[in-house]
């Protein structure tokens, strides 16, 4: 399982790097062509916009996986471990519900915009919304796994748990 997760992590990071490099390369090439040759690639800005949306959403998945999203944990880090687990479960349940509502809204937007394409590339505008669907599904899976691991198995604890030495977690419980 760990080997599969490492492979998926490497795949996700590689896709993000590839998309980002392609986006930067297209924009840079277009700038050089405009200033040096007084012409440009007509579709590069539009494709860069599509790629940017995908980088942002996939980056949100990486931040979720690494528990890098902002959170206020001043109060939670001061309560006993059992209360922390209950609050973590409630918090992550709310996150899953909101992401599910986001997916529902994205499918409605896909239905409304299914016939619209980009003027220069002809790529369907639905590609924007698919980035949200993919990232939301991945984030739901990540949150569910992280919640189960911490609440039921005392593994993969959130960063704020280690701030309270009275929690009684086994050594190494915060390690991934």
Query: What are the Cα distances from residue 11, in Å, to 26, 35, 62, 165?
Result: 22, 36, 11, 36
What would the pLDDT profile of 116-169 be if each residue is shown by its tens digit?
999 998 999 999 999 999 999 999 999 999 999 999 998 888 888 865 555 455
pTM of the predicted protein model: 0.84
Q: Which DSSP symbol is given to 124?
A: B
Residue 156, phi-psi category: left (phi > 0), alpha (psi -120 to 50), beta (remainder): left
- pLDDT tens for 20-30 read 999 999 999 99
46 in a structural domain? yes
Rounded-to-integer distance, Cα 6 and Cα 176, Å: 11
Which range marks the domain in which residue 136 is found? 2-167
In a domain, residue 71? The reply is yes
The answer to whether residue 67 sits within a structural domain is: yes
Please tell me the total count of domains within the chain: 1
Whether residue 172 lies inside any domain: the answer is no
């Amino acid at each position: 399982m760990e080997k599969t997760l490492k492979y998926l992590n490497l795949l996700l990071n590689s896709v993000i790097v590839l998309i980002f490099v392609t986006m930067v390369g297209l924009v840079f090439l277009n700038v050089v062509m405009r200033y040096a040759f007084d012409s440009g690639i007509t579709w590069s800005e539009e494709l860069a916009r599509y790629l940017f949306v995908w980088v942002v959403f996939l980056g949100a998945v990486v931040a979720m996986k690494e528990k890098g999203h902002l959170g206020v944990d001043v109060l939670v880090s001061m309560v006993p471990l059992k209360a922390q687990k209950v609050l973590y479960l409630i918090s992550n349940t709310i996150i899953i519900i909101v992401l599910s509502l986001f997916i529902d809204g994205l499918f409605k937007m896909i239905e409304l915009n299914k016939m619209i394409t980009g003027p220069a590339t002809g790529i369907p505008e639905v590609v924007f919304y698919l980035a949200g669907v993919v990232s939301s599904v991945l984030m739901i899976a990540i949150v569910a796994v992280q919640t189960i691991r911490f609440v039921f198995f005392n593994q993969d604890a959130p960063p704020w748990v280690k701030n309270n030495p009275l929690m009684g977690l086994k050594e190494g419980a915060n390690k991934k």
